Chains A and B, each alone.
Chain A
Amino acid sequence: MTTATPTVAAGTQKTDGTPTTKAGRVRKRLNSRTATLVSIVIAVVWTIPTFGLLVSSLRPEDEIKTTGWWTSFTNPQFTFENYEQVLFGRSASSGQLAGSFINSLAITIPSVLFPLAFASLAAYALAWIKFRGRDWLYIAIFALQIVPLQMALVPLLRFFSTGVSLGGVTLMPAWDLVDEQKFAQVWFAHTCFALPFAVFLLHNFISQLPGDLMEAARVDGATHPKIFRTIVLPLITPALAAFGIFQFLWVWNDLLVALIFAGGGDETAPLTVRLAEMAGTRGNEWQRLTAGAFVSIVIPLIVFLSLQRFFVRGLLAGSVKG
């Protein structure tokens, strides 16, 4: 964890005789051999499945299917064949994940940007513009977090496929999207579902900015849009980053929304949908499943590891993601 404060070296406490903190004392007892052993066991159990997947994805097909991945330490045979197959293979059975990878990107980028922009505008208004009913509005948006997105799926899909009509008058025609255009549905759905949490998280940060700063700007004649752009936005970049990472991981890893609004076609299906499909229909093609799973994992892992600091901060400030 990059947020962790520099750790006290174990040696210094031993020479002190008495540990200075509670944690130190608890540790003195717990951090006996058993405790160390327990934490190592947990860490190993947590890591081994992923490690096994990674090793397997690099082994030749015959090897994966006949021997356990742990045997490759005594009999190492590695290849990139699986990745080549699963990413670029022409046959339908190979996965053609390169296309899905691009779909995942095309779905994720706008699905992160839209809620980020809309929610920061809304959060600013709810925090710093005085108007009647402000608190109630905030509570209402906050409360929407608990609505499971399952509650919205059926009607929202109908909304896209048949449009809106009231008493025979068409208020909005059906979207009638085909192929790649279905991305728009997915963006729309993800944006809607993300907003309550986004507003809540950003409001937490924005409302804590110093009021004097806003007051001074107002006195200087700055309008709300100006304050928002020149003062608030630069100050809340860490919060924006926190929510951005959240939403990125959420959308990239999402299966349900993509399944319903993007469908399973080559033109739109993201990695998660394609992988879930492969796991169902080709459950024993481990050479493809392992490589495919790793392809889907690698981007979030990079994002996550490089921006962990912001992610943890967001995690600690946020609560229930709907």
Chain B
Amino acid sequence: MKFDFADQQPKFLMLMYGLVAFVVVVGGLLLLLDVVPAWFARRREAQLVAASVSGAPLPRRPKQREGIFAIFFLLPTLLLLTIGLVVPAIRTVLLSLMNRDSSEWVGLDNFGWMFSDDAIVRVLINTLIWVLLVPLVATGFGLIYAVLVDKARLEAVAKSLIFLPMAISFVGASIIWKFVYAYRGEGDQIGLLNQIVVSLGGEPKQWLLESPLNTLLLIVIMIWIQAGFAMVVLSAAIKAIPGDIVEAARLDGVSPWQMFWQITMPSIRPALIVVMVTLTIATLKVFDIVRTSTNGNYDTSVIANEMYNQAFRYSENGRGSALAVFLFILVIPVVIYQIRNLRQQREG
């Protein structure tokens, strides 16, 4: 082997520092929380003893100060959330109103640019296609599969097969599918898709170069990953339908088809909404697949990818931030819809 293990030592050292820091911070915090109250308790005991010896009236028991504990328990989380999320998010909003190196205020120019530059409009349209297709198709496949394998033989195995892509990184999944889409100019095809096309008598294509087909092919990757998520949640919802409802419907003699539309679908509606909302939000933020497969070329870019390019490759901080803010704005209505739904369920 030509691999030199000694080169890797600094990394392990750094990892060790990290772990030591973890032990010190968390252990220290717990220790602090243990020692301080104990000290107060001892002091109070001493006071009580002293008071009883001297015959003075017993000091009043101080009001329970639970708030103090809460502060220590919450301190690391609140600190990190403020530094890492809240303040940066506010700054991003401000940056989106400034020029590329954040030296001048430019008002809404960056947002105007988003909707006037043809390339970016294309990006927005692509994102829209993603958001329309992925949640619907992935949930559809997940639902069909969940119903089909419910209580079937080998259910556990069958579900695992669909669920497995969830563990694979978007980058890994993109490579897997790029290989399916692979193209060779002459000789045998090595990509499965082209092989199928050829064996059906068609001409092999460079799939990922052909817009708008390439966007759809990238969407397939996302669906492939997310259908498993939809399937698991919906399958659990189907299993949770109360047996007596089903029994009653069965005694009324409904057909399985009616059963599906009138019993199963209404019962799992909340789960369906959760799945769709979660997938919509995940799809809005999709980045890895586009970057790995085409790097956003050939008209395949989406908002998250464009945001990365603008902010971190072209140093256009204003435009990058504007895209991030736009992404956030797109998420909000989805979440509001979700919250309203939850509330209706709770009331109704």
Contacts and interface: CB of A to CB of B under 8 A. Distances in A.
B74 A290 contact: no
Interface in B310-348: 311-312, 317, 320-321, 323-325, 327-328, 331-332, 335, 338
A148 B311 contact: no
Contacts, number: 401
A282 B347 CA distance: 57
Interface string B70-96: 100110111011011111110110010
Contact of A122 (B74, B86, B151, B176): B74
B120 interface: no
Interface in A278-309: 279-280, 283, 286, 289-290, 292-293, 296-297, 300-301, 303-305, 308
Pick from A39, A48, A66, A99 the residue with the most CB of B within 10 Å.
Answer: A39
A88 B81 contact: no
A221 to B, nearest CB: 9
B175 A275 contact: yes
Given A148-B327, A196-B85, A275 B162 contact: no
B18 A187 contact: yes
Interface string A35-48: 11011001100111
A126 B74 CA distance: 8
A308 to B, nearest CB: 7
A243 interface: no
Nearest to A279: B292
A67 B247 CA distance: 56
Nearest to A289: B175
Interface in A87-145: 87-90, 98-99, 102-103, 105-106, 109-110, 113-114, 117-119, 121-122, 124-126, 129-132, 134, 137, 141, 144
A301 B13 contact: no
Interface string A190-231: 011101100100000000000000000000000111101100
A275 B171 contact: yes
A319 B274 contact: yes
A4 B153 CA distance: 12
Nearest to A125: B73
A7 B26 contact: no
Contacts of B8: 98-99, 102
Pick from B77, B155, B164 the residue with the most CB of A within 10 Å.
Answer: B77
Given A144-B86, A156-B88, A275-B171, A117 B156 contact: no
A293 B243 CA distance: 45
A153 to B, nearest CB: 7
Contacts of B115: none
Contacts of A134: 70
Contacts of B58: none
Nearest to B1: A88
Contact of B33 (A49, A224, A304): A224
Contacts of A279: 171, 174-175, 178, 292-293
A224 B73 contact: yes
B132 interface: no
A53 interface: yes
Contacts of A152: 84-85, 88-89, 92
Interface string A62-74: 0011111111000
A28 B308 contact: no
Interface of B: 1-3, 7-8, 10-15, 18-19, 21-22, 26, 29-30, 33-34, 37, 66-67, 69-70, 73-74, 76-78, 80-81, 83-89, 91-92, 95, 141, 144-145, 147-156, 158-172, 174-180, 182, 187-192, 195, 224, 227, 229, 232-233, 235-236, 238-239, 241, 243, 245-247, 249-250, 255-257, 259-260, 263-264, 274, 277-278, 281-282, 284-285, 287-288, 291-293, 295, 304, 307-308, 311-312, 317, 320-321, 323-325, 327-328, 331-332, 335, 338
Which 4 A-B residue pairs are closest in the complex by CB-CB distance? A192-B84, A22-B246, A253-B169, A125-B73
Given A154-B95, A308-B163, 17 more contacts: A4-B159, A22-B259, A22-B264, A27-B256, A39-B148, A99-B11, A110-B18, A153-B324, A154-B317, A154-B324, A180-B11, A275-B175, A279-B171, A280-B295, A300-B167, A312-B236, A315-B232
